[in-house]
Every structure is written in C-alpha cells, then in structure tokens.
Chains A and B, each alone.
Chain A
C-alpha cells in the first residue's frame, strides 16, 4: 500500500484550463502539505492543513485552492492555469501539527505541464 498517493502522475493541459490534483494518505497523519518543485529542483511549501484546518498559506496566487474533505485527503485545485505553473507538485504528510521535528512522507509527485 502506498502511504501517500497522488494522482495523476502526469498532467498536460492548455493555458487557461482548470485542473485538480488529488492526494490521499493512509498513515493516519494529522497534517498534510503541498509543495511545488520548480525546474531547478527548488522545493517550496504552498499549503499545509492540520485536521482539515489551514495552517500554512504561503504567497501563492489565489488561483490555487486546496481542499481537505477529511484529514486523509488534501486536494489541490488550480484555476486558469498559466505557463509558470508548470512544475512538479508534491503532496506530503506528517504526524504532528507542523513540520518542525517531523519526518515528512512524500507522494511521488505530479508533473504538471502547461502548454
């Protein structure tokens, strides 16, 4: 069983479209995250949720909207996709409320290509 699973693995779409990436964890963790990894491999946090409550909301365009229906799921919806949104998006989870001293478990990533 995959601990943190995200779908789809690849997403190719046109500018202006709306798309969603789904993430589920079966570890019983309380906190989930979305990270963006750019073409230079730089990892930057976007959001974190603890028990469905938004904890971190970094400087991300409001076209990005996370949704956590329950603590095992954190989906990412992106409106009006732009070329600059092309990146790999990682979902992660941890047991505690923040990533302070927690080991993060990552999904395998979703490579988003906006044409």
Chain B
C-alpha cells in the first residue's frame, strides 16, 4: 500500500529564516513519482515539483530546494530565506504506476511565515 506522511502539522518561522518541510513515503513499487504542491490562503493547489524514483539528484529552484533520499524514503522541501508569501499549506504526494487510483497525498504542513 502507498502512504505519504508529513509529520509536521504546523510550522511557524520568522521571515528570512530557512525552513524544511519533511515528507516520508512508503511504496513497494520501484517506479514512482513524488510531488510537492502549495495551497496558499486563496485555496488553489499549485504544482511545485515532480521527481521520479530513478532521479535522486537534488533540485534547486530559486529559494526552493528538494532533497530526495531513497535510502530513507524521504523527499524533503526546504525554503531558504522565507517570505510572508510562502505562508501556505504544503502537500507532498506520491504516485505509482500500478492501479488506476495512483496518486496519494500527505496530510499537509501549514507553514506560517511571521513578518
């Protein structure tokens, strides 16, 4: 069975601090994809990144970076020099190639950046 765990329910940081959002996943599939989505206060979920299970290179996009480690089944998300606009709920998700219903979301981490 597939599962995504985001143990941090809520995190608060002061603006300009760095923050890491944790994501741990479980799957027996060898081919899978990992995602992060952002849900700002406006409500709409916005895609941030997709990684496949064969590419463990870390990725950096501006202030955002992602650390994928298969050895620990983790796909953590770091925001550097956080800003108030980063305040949102962040969802990690896992998709597998088997089965029709193959996208599983974590329960989300609410990040509040305090000015």
In angstroms, how far is the closest chain B Cβ from the Cβ of A90?
7
User: Which residue of chain B is the closest to A97 with respect to CB atoms?
Assistant: B100
> Please, what's the 1-or-0 string for A31-43, where 1 marks a CB less than 8 Å from any CB in chain B?
0000000001111
Question: Given A56-B101, A100-B102, A105 and B47 touching (CB < 8 A)?
Answer: yes
Is residue B66 within 8 Å, beta carbon to beta carbon, of the partner chain?
Answer: no
Interface residues on A, range: 20 to 34
Whether a CB of chain B sits under 8 angstroms from the CB of A107 is yes
Binds A, one of B19-27, B56-64, B70-78, B103-111: B103-111
Distance in angstroms between the alpha carbons of A98 and B44 in the assembled complex: 20
Interface of B is mostly: strand
B27 to chain A, nearest CB (A): 12
**Cβ contact within 8 Å between B101 and A45:** yes
Interface residues in A62-106 by Cβ distance below 8 A to B read 88, 90, 92, 98-106
How many residue-residue contacts, CB under 8 A, span A and B?
60
Q: Does B50 lie within 8 Å of A103, measured CB to CB?
A: yes
Find A99's partner among B44, B45, B91, B103 (CB 8 Å cutoff): B103
Known: A41-B89, A42-B105, A56-B100. A101 touches B44 (CB 8 A): no
> Which residues of the partner chain B approach A105 to less than 8 Å between Cβ atoms?
47
B52, CB-defined interface residue at 8 Å: yes
Q: Is A55 in contact with B100, judged by CB distance below 8 angstroms?
A: yes
Please, which residues of chain A bring their CB within 8 A of the CB of B42?
108
A98 and B105 form a contact (CB under 8 A): no
Contacting pair A88 B43 (CB below 8 A) = yes
Residues from chain B with Cβ under 8 Å of A92 in the complex = 45
Binding site for B on A (CB under 8 A): 40-45, 48, 55-56, 58, 88, 90, 92, 98-109, 111
Could you list which residues of chain B lie within 8 angstroms of chain A, going by C-beta atoms?
33, 35, 37, 39, 42-47, 50, 52, 89, 91, 95-97, 100-103, 105, 107-108, 110
A-B contact pairs, 5 of them (CB 8 A): A41-B107, A42-B105, A48-B101, A58-B101, A106-B46
